[in-house]
Amino acid sequence: MAIKTEPFVVNFGPQHPSTHGVFRMRMTLDGEVVVDMEPVFGYLHRGIEKLAEGRTYTQDIPFTDRMDYLASMTNNFAYVLAAEKLAGVAVPERAEYLRVIMAELQRIASHIIAVGTFLNDCGAFVTPFMYMMREREKILDLFDMVCGQRLTYNYMRIGGVSHDIPEEFMPALDKFIREMPGFIDEYDQLLADNEILLARAKGVGILPKKLAINISASGPVLRASGVNWDIRKVNPYSVYDRFEFDVPLGSAGDSYDRYRVRVQEMRQSVRIIRQAMEQLPEGEVWNRMPLRLRPPAGEAYAHIEAPRGELGFYLVSDHSATPYRFHVRAPTLINLTALRDMIIGWKVADAIIIFGSIDICLGEVDR
Amino acid sequence: MTVALSGDEVAGKLKKKFPGSIVESGADSLLVKSESLLEIAAFLKTAPGLEFDYLDFITSVDYLDYFEVVYQLISIKHNHSLVLKSRCYERENPALPSVVSLWRGADFQEREIYDLMGISFEGHPDLKRIFLWEGFPGHPLRKDFK
Amino acid sequence: MEVGAKKRYAYSDAELDRAEGEAIEALKAHSQQPIPDPDKWLDEELRHNILLTTVDAVLNWARRSSLWPVVCFPACCAIELMAAAVSRFDISRFGMEIMRSSPRQADLMITAGTLTWKMAPQIKRIYDQMAEPKWVIAMGACAISGGVFTGSYSVVPGYNRIIPVDVYVPGCPPRPEALLYGISKLQGKIAKRSIF
């Protein structure tokens, strides 16, 4: 006997434990299956691009911290690279290596949260999350030692970094690097072949390779679909061409692959940090520029491989102390383009998993 | 390294097929007329040797006399990039053709430009405000917004 | 799916957007002055020097020792709130490890992040849905006054435009220790309440 059903609208509201911030999805359901989905965001739109036009280039660095607040170091990095390109400023070598060390530590910290919250959504309530936050606290201690802040660092400056590392930093970093691979193995052992994770994430939310390129996806989302495109390899910035590391790729483009790519990227980051520590030269850390920097008129775009994708800054200058246009190429906003395609046809519970595996950060989506 | 193709080089390839549509070509960018933007973009996406299959970003700048929309295109196969620009001279209702049919990544970015700068994109399937709410007075990123 | 694949929404998104936009503009027009902080009763109590009865003492002890926060994670401060809740700074020793998703089951709202006008009606709704007695901790500079983003076209200059706030915790973001200090101040405030 055929049952007559009607489509039903459910609002995954801005306040929801699994939406990683204030993100809203208006879902049209047929029973439990998602028929259509409309993403609504802007609940955290703070007008950073407009505010930045009223502040000097150095005063804009704290704004970049607060966009993707889970990966502030890499945000700072991308912005100062763009500003240095615009102003034609050179960076001392010690500062370049310190920037790389901080960026890779930040990548590990960001992926820890990404993987932890993904597992949280899968149903392992907070156990893996608590274990991973324990490691993240160690990284935050290292950052605290260097710049005094736990979350919004404001560490990098145009022309270098703001402080040199204190004496106790290197031994602490060394200890962390020696222990981290062991911790990653510990989680992997529990989770890689876990039945529930495989059942919930394998084959769920597939992003085909052609679609991934067409929607301008970047970061782990693109690499899990099989596209070998990592900015650190194809367009190396800073001193990344001096390090040896692999780029983990997925094959199926499903949520499980995105999770695996992130875990393996953490291992590669440990490798890069070890090499950077060995090669770290002595010297200055900041090529001091006037605080009210006035770059020549023109435009510049610089992009880096942030933990969530390709983060870029497009700056236009009119030879005054404040930028004429400050635009952020937000990877998470662009990665979300495929969300509707990935979710349609799956059930409500899978929608959460797919959304969690893309790993967005609302501060960056909305700016 | 991603090679940034110079605007002159690409303009040379386009001049024959699209006469009169290139306004200016410099060392780092290529400025085209807004009417021929869609055809040129389609050509750049599929032409052998160019094959720009990845749209890096779209952004817009308000230069008071005109709005300039900047596209950065990347080819994953050849690892080269190009900056394409186009201008709208109208202040009241500026409009440009949408490139969503070529690169779907333009979807949210064009909505963002419409929301914050006020430029409409013809051919976009769902052009409505994305960050601000319906009924917000004006377009904040314009230089004359109070 | 191709571009422009037919939308199969079971509602009219244009109408919904318009209605929500009107609600936001109405709330914005209504919230031009900050709501005064609910602390007048503290002064009165000191003046009359009311001694708390045993019933009050027991009730207040029960209420302050098991405050359940509602899940409300707009922005960066939320990460410090999460850090305060897990392994190292364990908020569970204050009885608060259960973050309730439903506002009906919560009695504390820790506002961890910047408030925008678009989000304001939702925050008001969550606050209204919480049952009495309820308290609000404004965490971070953005919650107190708009923080780094004051003057922006879409940021509310402080949560106290929309809901009454009991404790303000400054910082950008405040360290977990600062948040725990704010919570202990709130517990001190609750201890002085009287049900009469």
ipTM associated with this complex: 0.91
Q: Give CA–CA dist A271/A283, Å, rounded.
A: 24
Is A133 in contact with C76 (Cβ distance < 8 A)? Answer: no
Q: Tell whether B130 is within 8 A of chain C (Cβ).
A: no
Smallest CA–CA distance, residue C111 to chain A, in Å, is: 12
Domain range enclosing B23:
3-103
Q: Give CA–CA dist C196/C194, Å, rounded.
A: 5
User: What would the mean pLDDT of A193-204 be, rounded to a whole number?
Assistant: 85
User: What would the mean pLDDT of C175-190 be, rounded to a whole number?
Assistant: 88
User: What would the mean pLDDT of A341-355 be, rounded to a whole number?
Assistant: 88
Number of domains in chain B: 1
Subunits with 3+ C-beta pairs closer than 8 A to B: A, C
Q: Kindly state which CATH superfamily the domain A45-366 is placed in.
A: Cytochrome-c3 Hydrogenase, chain B (1.10.645.10)
Q: Give CA–CA dist C23/B135, Å, rounded.
A: 10
Smallest CA–CA distance, residue B97 to chain C, in Å, is: 15
Let me know: does A275 contact A243? Beta carbons within 8 Å. yes
Q: Tell whether A260 is within 8 A of chain B (Cβ).
A: no
Question: Can you give the CATH number for the domain in which B35 is found?
Answer: 3.30.460.80
Query: What are A363's two structure tokens?
Result: 């501060």
Mean pLDDT, consecutive 10-residue segments, chain B of 146 residues? 79 80 81 87 86 90 90 88 88 88 89 90 87 87 84
- Is residue A221 pLDDT above 60, yes or no? yes
Q: Which residue of C has its CA nearest to B124?
A: C4
DSSP H or E segment with residue C168:
strand C167-169
Percent of chain A having pLDDT more than 70? 99
Assign C5 a pLDDT band (cuts: 50, 70, 90).
Answer: low
Q: Tell whether C178 is within 8 A of chain A (Cβ).
A: no
**The dihedral formed by the CA atoms of C136, C137, C140 and C143, expressed in degrees to the nearest 10:** 20
Q: Burial letters for C156-175: b for 16+ Cβ neighbours within 10 Å, e otherwise?
A: bbbbbbbbbbbbbbebbbbb
Let me know: does A118 contact A357? Beta carbons within 8 Å. yes
Question: Looking at residue B70, what is its pLDDT?
Answer: 92
Q: Give CA–CA dist A332/A324, Å, rounded.
A: 24
Question: Looking at residue A121, what is its pLDDT?
Answer: 84
Is A66 in contact with C76 (Cβ distance < 8 A)? Answer: yes
Q: Give CA–CA dist B100/B102, Å, rounded.
A: 5
Give whole-number Cα distances, A149 to A168, B88, C131, in Å: 16, 45, 37
pTM score: 0.90
Residue A302's SS3 state is strand
Whether B17 maps to a domain, the answer reads yes
Q: Tell whether A211 is within 8 A of chain B (Cβ).
A: yes
User: What would the mean pLDDT of C90-113 be, rounded to a whole number?
Assistant: 85
Average predicted confidence (pLDDT) for chain A: 88
Is A314 in contact with B140 (Cβ distance < 8 A)? Answer: no
User: What would the mean pLDDT of A147-163 be, rounded to a whole number?
Assistant: 88
Query: What are A250's two structure tokens?
Result: 């997925």
Query: What are C195's two structure tokens?
Result: 């049900």
User: What would the mean pLDDT of C168-184 be, rounded to a whole number?
Assistant: 90
Give whole-number Cα distances, A104 to A271, A275, B124, in Å: 10, 11, 39
Whether B126 maps to a domain, the answer reads no
- Residues in chain B with CB shorter than 8 Å from the CB of C21 are 133-136
User: What would the mean pLDDT of A51-57 be, rounded to a whole number?
Assistant: 90
- Is residue A15 pLDDT above 90, yes or no? no
Q: Give CA–CA dist A112/A99, Å, rounded.
A: 20
Assign A268 a pLDDT band (cuts: 50, 70, 90).
Answer: very high
Residue whose token pair is 């912005």: A79
Q: Give CA–CA dist A29/A7, Å, rounded.
A: 5
Question: Looking at residue C48, what is its pLDDT?
Answer: 47
Question: Looking at residue C13, what is its pLDDT?
Answer: 77
* Domain edges within chain A: 45-366
Smallest CA–CA distance, residue C187 to chain A, in Å, is: 25
Question: Looking at residue A97, what is its pLDDT?
Answer: 92
Question: Looking at residue C49, what is its pLDDT?
Answer: 47
Secondary structure (DSSP) of C65-101: HT--BB----STHHHHHHHHHSTTT-GGGGT----BS
Is B140 in contact with A47 (Cβ distance < 8 A)? Answer: yes
- Residues in chain C with CB shorter than 8 Å from the CB of B38 are none
Q: Which residue of C has its CA nearest to A138?
A: C88
User: What would the mean pLDDT of A33-38 be, rounded to a whole number?
Assistant: 87
- pLDDT digit string, tens, across residues C40-94: 656 555 444 455 667 777 788 888 888 888 888 888 888 888 888 887 888 888 8
